Amino acid sequence: MSVDHTSSTYSEVKRHAFVLNLFAIVGLSLTAAMGILAFMRGDSPLGFSLMIASLVYLLAYLFQHITGKIIISSAVIIFSLYTLMIYLVYSGGVENTGPLWIFLVSPVALFIRGLKQGLVETSIFLSIVFLIMFVPGEFFSNESYIPEFRIRLMLSFLTVTFLSACYEYSREQSQRYTLELNKQYEKLAHYDQLTTLANRRGALKKLEIEQPSMIRQRDSLSVIVCDVDHFKKINDRYGHNAGDAVLVQLAQIFKQLIRGQDMIARWGGEEFLFILPHTSAEDAAIVAQKIHGALRNETILYQETKIPVTVSMGIEIMQPDQTIDEVINAADNYLYQAKREGRNQTFPRLDVPIPVVL
């Protein structure tokens, strides 16, 4: 079973959106409740500030829920958090307990903004808090905090920030490792290890992608099934390692003869499948002729031994009402016809100019 690394990325985005929504809901609930309590105590400035923060969280939640744009809503949430925390430190909140809420900043900022950006923004936030706490002057109201409280608050915040950074670093490393592992699994699932070509599963995936496009655009798509002639004799005479070397060198030759939009797959054993989008049967026949010409001109070597190699091929152009299996089976039938007719040729025989292979 293949593991698509994009699915892991999608799961991470969904998890990020879920936590973001959860934080927005919790934030708007807490700030709304605390705002009401502040109004009841007669602290209107604090009450208005908390209710505005609650409204911002609500709008950010609704925006993300409706549009799905996580980046914008996360930026709104985190900067409203910074603003509210700075206000609580500046004003003191209730009974000078406002600064105690700043411990929310580090874990939330690092999760929402990522390790590097989160640390930068947290450092800026900490600098502003430091100015409020320690710089004397009429603008700041730091006289209401005793020195021991200010020092312990800053040290505690730095400790929480360090631990949050360690956790976020570990989480990002784990995510990066998982994505890389998924890429390797996908490569193993869709590529042949010997030739580094696509394997049968990768070829079928390519055809499943190309077929709807071909039908929609009324375009042509051709396939070539290619089989190495007398491959068993090569293995018997030169050894299986020589047979593997032949397949590897053939893969390299074939890759030089196709376009970037085409695909070659190791279909199985000594069989190869060429998938040629936007290619008529005549153009596919020209590709086949190029392959025959290249093998006449190329020398396949194994341990300084020249191994003569020829191939037989069958061509089929996909019709809108054909299934993928029907197309490949039709090309396969032409391949066996080529073998019955003496090998080292392509069926159906099409009247196309013989290309010059340099």
- List active site positions: 270
Q: DSSP secondary structure string, 78-112?
A: HHHHHHHHHHHHHH--STT-GGGGGGGHHHHHHHH
Q: Which amino acid is at 293?
A: G
Structure-block tokens of residue 94: 């209730």
Neighbouring CB atoms inside 10 A of 218's CB total 7
Using the structure block, give the residue that is written with the tokens 């077929």: 211
Taking the C-alpha atoms of residue 250 and residue 196, their distance in angstroms, rounded to an integer, is 12
Rounded to whole angstroms, the Cα distance separating 327 from 331 reads: 6
Q: Is 93 left (phi over 0), alpha (psi -120 to 50) or beta?
A: left
Torsion of CA 67, 71, 76, 79, to 10 degrees: 170
Q: Collapsing DSSP states into helix, strand and coil, what is residue 224? A: strand
Q: Which of 218, 357, 214 is nearest to 289 (CA)?
A: 357
Which residue blocks in 199-304 are alpha helix, DSSP H?
200-217, 231-238, 240-255, 281-297
**346-347 and 311-317 strand pairing:** parallel
Measure the CA–CA gap between 261 and 230, rounded to whole angstroms.
30
Whether the CB-CB separation of 49 and 84 falls below 8 Å is answered with yes
